Amino acid sequence: MKSLIKAGLLIAGTYLSTTAVLNYVVGEPVDYFALVPELTTTLEIDYFNFSEMDLINIPNKYVEPVAGLEDILSDSSGGFSNLSNPERFSNELFSLADEMGFNKESISRLDPNELIGLSYKIVADRITYSNVDSDPEFKKEHGEEFLPIDGYFYLGGGDCDKYAYLTIETFNLFKSINSNPKTGNVYLSREFGNVTQPHAWVSITINESPNKLSISQIDPTFYDSMGEIDACEFHVNQDHFEFLVLNKLRHYTQSNKIIDGLISEDNEDDENRTLFLSKAYNCARLGDHLSAGKNFEKLVEFEKIDPLKSMWFERASREYFESGNDQNVFRIVQEFKNSNLSGKRLPSDP
């Protein structure tokens, strides 16, 4: 599945204007330059299944990422705090690697494909799948809040997002001592793909040139349970891929334009819920609190569980308060009181 996305700047020999009108069609390639005037050149993105990705012919020297993408792709923390004990994490990782036949010297010489493989194999060897987020015994022993990501590594258990983040942290540590010049152009981050799936996996992004990215995906959780590392099929949804890339680039206004083209009465409720949620957070990040409130409130129509409903009522109320819309705040507060669901946790930004 190659070249899901191709974005071009040069059309009929003339450069596109930064005022180009967006005509987005679901499933069609997106012209990123028309969407993002800040980009000063063509942005071309190719998608590959991991087993088909070319990890050999990566540039031999460092390629400057597009629009500050390096900082975004290097952020592995997600919803977790930083490592609680980086020295212990490093020592245990290198000890496990040594048991698998890789000392620091050999790790420093690995090519990107070998480095990625060692990273997900160590995580699969170290932890066993456990639904720690909902296990009452686990919460009773370790508390209601998320642990630092290395906490799950020391305990030897975790669910899909723990597999994903631990693979990213492991790769980043090994990358820091790797001398192969190609590795500097390879990044692991949380997934691009099908955001309606209640699952977590890892995206691999390669800077091929200042205006070209190659992206693939792996699933460390599936690898541990089934031996298959390719993240494909339900992981990838082309219609969602475009706005997720734009979110990574922090182009939230342009992302919302695509989301508006995807919202449809013909969609399953779960897909529309996800789209409204993404748009709500984008509006909040842009400081458009009134629109954020409206989109958070729209989520109530798609949620079937009362505690979730109360969370979105609360978040909508907070956004309306920030916008100065006291009438909507009062209405939401009254509806929330009537639901008799006070005291639930307020959702924060993902």
Q: What is the pTM of this model?
A: 0.75
Q: Domain 263-339 adopts which CATH fold?
A: 1.25.40
- Domain 42-241 CATH class label: alpha beta
CA distance 42 to 69: 15
Q: Where in the chain are the domains?
A: 42-241, 263-339
What is the chain's Cα-based Rg?
Answer: 22
CA distance 267 to 286: 26
Give the distance from CA 19 to its chain's centroid.
29
Reading the chain (350 residues) residue by residue, the pLDDT tens digits are 333 333 332 222 222 222 222 333 434 444 544 545 454 455 677 888 899 899 999 999 998 876 656 666 665 555 455 788 999 999 999 999 999 999 999 999 999 999 999 999 999 999 999 999 888 898 889 888 888 999 999 999 999 999 999 999 999 999 999 999 999 999 998 877 788 788 899 999 898 888 788 889 999 999 999 999 999 878 887 778 778 877 877 788 888 998 999 999 898 888 888 899 899 999 999 999 999 999 998 887 776 655 555 678 888 888 999 999 888 888 877 776 666 554 444 455 55
CA distance 45 to 265: 30
Structure tokens at 250: 């922090």
Q: Could you give the count of Cα atoms lying within 13 Å of 281 in the half-sphere of its Cβ? A: 15
CA distance 178 to 116: 12
CA distance 346 to 55: 42
Q: Are 350 and 281 in contact (CB under 8 A)?
A: yes
Residue (of 156, 235, 254) closest to 191 by Cα position = 235
CA distance 263 to 295: 12
- Phi and psi, residue 143, nearest 5°: 100, 165
Q: Are 163 and 221 in contact (CB under 8 A)?
A: yes
